[in-house]
Amino acid sequence: MIDRLDRFLDPIIAVRTDDGTYWTPNGHHRLSALKALGAKSIVALVLPDPELAYKILALNTEKAHNLREKALETVRMARDLAEKNAKAPEKDYALEFEEPAFLTLGLCYEENGRFSGGAYHPVLKKVDEFFDLALPKALERRKDRAEKILELDRAVTEAVAALKERGLQSPYLKAFVVARVNPLRFQKGSSPTFDATVSKMLTSARNFKAGSVRMDQLARAGRAAPEE
Protein backbone atom coordinates (compact mmCIF):
# COMPACT_ATOMS: atom_id res chain seq x y z
CA MET A 1 0.00 0.00 0.00
CA ILE A 2 2.78 2.48 0.89
CA ASP A 3 4.70 1.85 -2.33
CA ARG A 4 1.52 2.08 -4.45
CA LEU A 5 0.39 5.39 -2.98
CA ASP A 6 3.89 6.79 -2.51
CA ARG A 7 2.52 8.18 0.73
CA PHE A 8 2.78 7.31 4.42
CA LEU A 9 -0.21 8.62 6.34
CA ASP A 10 -0.30 6.56 9.55
CA PRO A 11 2.28 7.43 12.24
CA ILE A 12 3.68 4.65 14.37
CA ILE A 13 3.71 4.63 18.18
CA ALA A 14 7.20 4.91 19.73
CA VAL A 15 8.59 4.69 23.26
CA ARG A 16 12.00 5.97 24.34
CA THR A 17 14.07 3.31 26.15
CA ASP A 18 16.63 3.81 28.91
CA ASP A 19 19.55 3.61 26.46
CA GLY A 20 18.14 6.43 24.31
CA THR A 21 16.79 4.25 21.49
CA TYR A 22 13.14 3.83 20.53
CA TRP A 23 10.90 0.80 20.08
CA THR A 24 7.37 0.53 18.75
CA PRO A 25 4.51 -1.42 20.33
CA ASN A 26 2.31 -0.64 17.33
CA GLY A 27 3.96 -0.02 13.98
CA HIS A 28 6.61 -2.67 13.38
CA HIS A 29 5.11 -3.79 10.07
CA ARG A 30 4.91 -0.23 8.76
CA LEU A 31 8.46 0.44 9.95
CA SER A 32 9.74 -2.69 8.21
CA ALA A 33 7.90 -1.77 5.00
CA LEU A 34 9.41 1.72 4.96
CA LYS A 35 12.91 0.33 5.58
CA ALA A 36 12.44 -2.07 2.67
CA LEU A 37 11.46 0.90 0.48
CA GLY A 38 14.59 2.81 1.48
CA ALA A 39 13.02 5.36 3.83
CA LYS A 40 15.41 7.23 6.12
CA SER A 41 12.86 8.54 8.61
CA ILE A 42 9.35 7.87 9.87
CA VAL A 43 6.65 9.94 11.58
CA ALA A 44 6.00 8.69 15.12
CA LEU A 45 3.89 9.59 18.12
CA VAL A 46 6.25 9.31 21.11
CA LEU A 47 4.65 8.07 24.33
CA PRO A 48 6.05 9.43 27.60
CA ASP A 49 4.53 6.53 29.59
CA PRO A 50 6.17 3.12 28.95
CA GLU A 51 3.43 1.36 30.94
CA LEU A 52 0.86 2.45 28.37
CA ALA A 53 3.03 1.01 25.61
CA TYR A 54 2.64 -2.51 26.99
CA LYS A 55 -1.14 -2.17 26.97
CA ILE A 56 -1.02 -1.00 23.37
CA LEU A 57 1.18 -3.97 22.51
CA ALA A 58 -1.41 -6.33 23.99
CA LEU A 59 -4.32 -4.70 22.16
CA ASN A 60 -2.85 -3.72 18.81
CA THR A 61 -3.72 -5.35 15.49
CA GLU A 62 -0.11 -6.09 14.52
CA LYS A 63 0.36 -8.97 16.96
CA ALA A 64 2.73 -11.84 16.26
CA HIS A 65 1.30 -14.16 13.64
CA ASN A 66 2.07 -17.49 15.29
CA LEU A 67 2.25 -19.02 18.73
CA ARG A 68 6.04 -19.15 18.87
CA GLU A 69 6.49 -15.44 18.11
CA LYS A 70 3.68 -14.44 20.47
CA ALA A 71 5.07 -16.54 23.33
CA LEU A 72 8.61 -15.23 22.90
CA GLU A 73 7.31 -11.67 22.70
CA THR A 74 5.38 -12.16 25.96
CA VAL A 75 8.42 -13.49 27.83
CA ARG A 76 10.55 -10.58 26.66
CA MET A 77 7.85 -8.21 27.88
CA ALA A 78 7.73 -9.97 31.27
CA ARG A 79 11.49 -9.66 31.74
CA ASP A 80 11.42 -5.99 30.84
CA LEU A 81 8.58 -5.33 33.28
CA ALA A 82 10.36 -7.35 35.98
CA GLU A 83 13.31 -4.96 35.76
CA LYS A 84 11.11 -1.87 35.89
CA ASN A 85 8.56 -3.06 38.48
CA ALA A 86 10.23 -5.81 40.49
CA LYS A 87 7.57 -5.76 43.21
CA ALA A 88 4.53 -5.91 40.93
CA PRO A 89 2.72 -9.29 40.90
CA GLU A 90 2.46 -11.14 37.62
CA LYS A 91 -1.34 -11.24 37.77
CA ASP A 92 -1.44 -7.42 37.57
CA TYR A 93 -0.29 -7.71 33.96
CA ALA A 94 -2.95 -10.16 32.78
CA LEU A 95 -4.01 -7.70 30.07
CA GLU A 96 -0.49 -7.27 28.73
CA PHE A 97 0.39 -10.98 28.84
CA GLU A 98 -3.07 -12.15 27.64
CA GLU A 99 -2.54 -15.80 28.66
CA PRO A 100 -0.33 -17.38 31.33
CA ALA A 101 0.34 -20.14 28.80
CA PHE A 102 2.25 -17.68 26.60
CA LEU A 103 4.77 -17.12 29.40
CA THR A 104 5.33 -20.84 30.02
CA LEU A 105 5.56 -21.66 26.32
CA GLY A 106 7.86 -18.72 25.65
CA LEU A 107 10.41 -20.13 28.08
CA CYS A 108 10.08 -23.53 26.40
CA TYR A 109 10.79 -21.96 22.99
CA GLU A 110 13.84 -20.19 24.38
CA GLU A 111 15.22 -23.51 25.61
CA ASN A 112 14.29 -25.46 22.47
CA GLY A 113 13.84 -23.59 19.21
CA ARG A 114 12.18 -26.64 17.63
CA PHE A 115 9.64 -27.02 20.42
CA SER A 116 6.12 -27.84 19.19
CA GLY A 117 4.16 -25.52 21.44
CA GLY A 118 0.94 -25.88 19.49
CA ALA A 119 0.55 -29.44 20.74
CA TYR A 120 0.53 -28.31 24.39
CA HIS A 121 -1.20 -24.95 24.15
CA PRO A 122 -4.79 -26.30 24.47
CA VAL A 123 -3.85 -28.10 27.70
CA LEU A 124 -2.00 -25.13 29.17
CA LYS A 125 -4.91 -22.81 28.43
CA LYS A 126 -6.94 -24.90 30.87
CA VAL A 127 -4.42 -25.50 33.65
CA ASP A 128 -1.96 -22.60 33.64
CA GLU A 129 -2.70 -19.47 35.66
CA PHE A 130 -1.22 -16.09 36.52
CA PHE A 131 0.77 -16.05 39.76
CA ASP A 132 0.25 -13.76 42.74
CA LEU A 133 4.03 -13.42 42.90
CA ALA A 134 6.35 -10.52 42.14
CA LEU A 135 7.44 -10.68 38.51
CA PRO A 136 11.03 -11.89 39.16
CA LYS A 137 9.77 -14.71 41.41
CA ALA A 138 6.99 -15.49 38.96
CA LEU A 139 9.52 -15.89 36.15
CA GLU A 140 11.49 -18.34 38.29
CA ARG A 141 8.36 -20.39 38.86
CA ARG A 142 7.53 -20.15 35.16
CA LYS A 143 10.93 -21.63 34.39
CA ASP A 144 10.11 -24.61 36.61
CA ARG A 145 6.86 -25.11 34.71
CA ALA A 146 8.64 -24.81 31.37
CA GLU A 147 11.13 -27.48 32.43
CA LYS A 148 8.25 -29.83 33.26
CA ILE A 149 6.67 -29.23 29.86
CA LEU A 150 10.01 -29.85 28.14
CA GLU A 151 10.40 -33.09 30.09
CA LEU A 152 6.94 -34.10 28.93
CA ASP A 153 7.85 -33.16 25.37
CA ARG A 154 10.89 -35.45 25.47
CA ALA A 155 8.68 -38.36 26.56
CA VAL A 156 6.14 -37.53 23.83
CA THR A 157 8.95 -37.35 21.25
CA GLU A 158 10.04 -40.86 22.23
CA ALA A 159 6.48 -42.08 21.77
CA VAL A 160 6.35 -40.45 18.35
CA ALA A 161 9.61 -42.18 17.40
CA ALA A 162 8.09 -45.51 18.42
CA LEU A 163 5.11 -44.87 16.14
CA LYS A 164 7.42 -44.03 13.26
CA GLU A 165 9.32 -47.27 13.82
CA ARG A 166 6.03 -49.06 13.20
CA GLY A 167 5.79 -47.29 9.87
CA LEU A 168 3.19 -44.74 10.90
CA GLN A 169 3.83 -41.40 9.25
CA SER A 170 1.79 -38.24 9.72
CA PRO A 171 2.33 -34.53 10.43
CA TYR A 172 -0.10 -35.02 13.32
CA LEU A 173 1.84 -37.64 15.27
CA LYS A 174 2.85 -35.37 18.15
CA ALA A 175 -0.62 -33.85 18.47
CA PHE A 176 -2.04 -37.39 18.39
CA VAL A 177 0.20 -38.60 21.23
CA VAL A 178 -0.48 -35.49 23.35
CA ALA A 179 -4.22 -35.99 22.87
CA ARG A 180 -3.95 -39.64 23.91
CA VAL A 181 -2.06 -38.85 27.13
CA ASN A 182 -4.19 -35.81 28.02
CA PRO A 183 -6.29 -36.64 31.12
CA LEU A 184 -8.49 -33.57 30.72
CA ARG A 185 -10.57 -35.24 28.03
CA PHE A 186 -12.01 -37.52 30.74
CA GLN A 187 -12.05 -35.07 33.62
CA LYS A 188 -15.28 -33.40 34.73
CA GLY A 189 -16.19 -31.18 37.62
CA SER A 190 -13.24 -29.86 39.60
CA SER A 191 -10.74 -27.56 37.95
CA PRO A 192 -7.49 -29.36 37.05
CA THR A 193 -4.16 -28.13 38.37
CA PHE A 194 -1.00 -27.70 36.33
CA ASP A 195 1.19 -30.05 38.38
CA ALA A 196 -1.36 -32.87 38.57
CA THR A 197 -2.19 -32.67 34.87
CA VAL A 198 1.41 -32.57 33.63
CA SER A 199 2.42 -35.36 36.03
CA LYS A 200 -0.34 -37.62 34.68
CA MET A 201 0.58 -36.77 31.10
CA LEU A 202 4.25 -37.54 31.72
CA THR A 203 3.44 -40.94 33.23
CA SER A 204 1.12 -41.78 30.33
CA ALA A 205 3.67 -40.64 27.74
CA ARG A 206 6.39 -42.80 29.28
CA ASN A 207 4.00 -45.78 29.29
CA PHE A 208 2.68 -45.10 25.78
CA LYS A 209 1.98 -48.31 23.86
CA ALA A 210 2.79 -47.60 20.23
CA GLY A 211 1.80 -51.14 19.29
CA SER A 212 -1.83 -50.52 20.27
CA VAL A 213 -2.32 -47.61 17.86
CA ARG A 214 -4.31 -48.36 14.69
CA MET A 215 -3.96 -46.44 11.46
CA ASP A 216 -7.66 -45.47 11.49
CA GLN A 217 -7.17 -43.82 14.90
CA LEU A 218 -4.31 -41.78 13.52
CA ALA A 219 -6.32 -40.82 10.45
CA ARG A 220 -9.11 -39.41 12.63
CA ALA A 221 -6.51 -37.33 14.44
CA GLY A 222 -5.87 -35.49 11.16
CA ARG A 223 -8.46 -32.96 12.26
CA ALA A 224 -6.17 -31.88 15.12
CA ALA A 225 -3.78 -28.96 14.82
CA PRO A 226 -0.58 -29.90 12.93
CA GLU A 227 2.84 -29.67 14.52
CA GLU A 228 4.67 -26.33 14.15
Tell whether 34 is covered by a domain. yes
pLDDT reported for residue 226: 44
CATH number for the domain spanning 26: value is 3.90.1530
Q: Do 22 and 83 sit in the same domain of this protein?
A: no
Q: Do 44 and 80 sit in the same domain of this protein?
A: no
The per-residue pLDDT for range 123-149, each reduced to its tens digit, is: 999 999 999 999 999 999 999 999 999
The per-residue pLDDT for range 93-102, each reduced to its tens digit, is: 998 899 999 9
Q: Do 129 and 92 sit in the same domain of this protein?
A: yes
Of the listed ranges 161-165, 202-206, 214-218, the least confidently predicted one is 214-218
DSSP structure class, residue 57: H
Q: Is the Cβ–Cβ distance between 118 and 67 less than 8 Å?
A: yes
Q: Do 47 and 99 sit in the same domain of this protein?
A: no
Q: Do 98 and 39 sit in the same domain of this protein?
A: no
Structural domain ending residue among the three candidates 62, 89, 112 = 62
The per-residue pLDDT for range 52-89, each reduced to its tens digit, is: 767 666 666 455 568 998 899 899 989 989 998 999 99
Tell whether 228 is covered by a domain. no
- The whole-model pTM stands at 0.74
pLDDT reported for residue 99: 95
Tell whether 213 is covered by a domain. yes
**How many Cβ atoms sit within 10 Å of the Cβ of residue 197?**
20
Q: Do 116 and 38 sit in the same domain of this protein?
A: no
pLDDT reported for residue 159: 96
Which is it for the CA torsion 86, 16, 1, 29, positive or negative? negative
Tell whether 153 is covered by a domain. yes
The per-residue pLDDT for range 152-181, each reduced to its tens digit, is: 999 999 999 999 998 888 888 999 999 999
Q: Do 50 and 112 sit in the same domain of this protein?
A: no
Amino acid of residue 92: D
Q: Is the Cβ–Cβ distance between 198 and 152 less than 8 Å?
A: yes
Q: Do 47 and 73 sit in the same domain of this protein?
A: no
Number of domains in the chain: 2
Q: Do 24 and 128 sit in the same domain of this protein?
A: no
Structural domain ending residue among the three candidates 14, 40, 62 = 62
**Domain residues for 204?**
64-223
Provide mean pLDDT across the span 19-35: 74
Going by their DSSP bridges, the two strands 12-16 and 22-26 should be labelled as antiparallel
Q: Is the Cβ–Cβ distance between 118 and 228 less than 8 Å?
A: yes
Closest CA to 76 of 120, 111, 106: 106
Tell whether 1 is covered by a domain. yes
Amino acid of residue 226: P
Tell whether 22 is covered by a domain. yes
Tell whether 161 is covered by a domain. yes
Best-predicted range by mean pLDDT (24-33, 140-149, 184-193): 140-149
Provide mean pLDDT across the span 97-109: 96
Q: Do 74 and 38 sit in the same domain of this protein?
A: no
pLDDT reported for residue 171: 84
Q: Do 175 and 214 sit in the same domain of this protein?
A: yes
3-class DSSP assignment, residue 14: strand
- 7 falls in which pLDDT band (50, 70, 90)? low
Ramachandran assignment for 73, one of left (phi > 0), alpha (psi -120 to 50 degrees), beta (any other): alpha
pLDDT reported for residue 96: 87
State the SS3 of 102-119.
HHHHHHHHHHCCCCCHHH
Q: Do 26 and 127 sit in the same domain of this protein?
A: no
Tell whether 145 is covered by a domain. yes
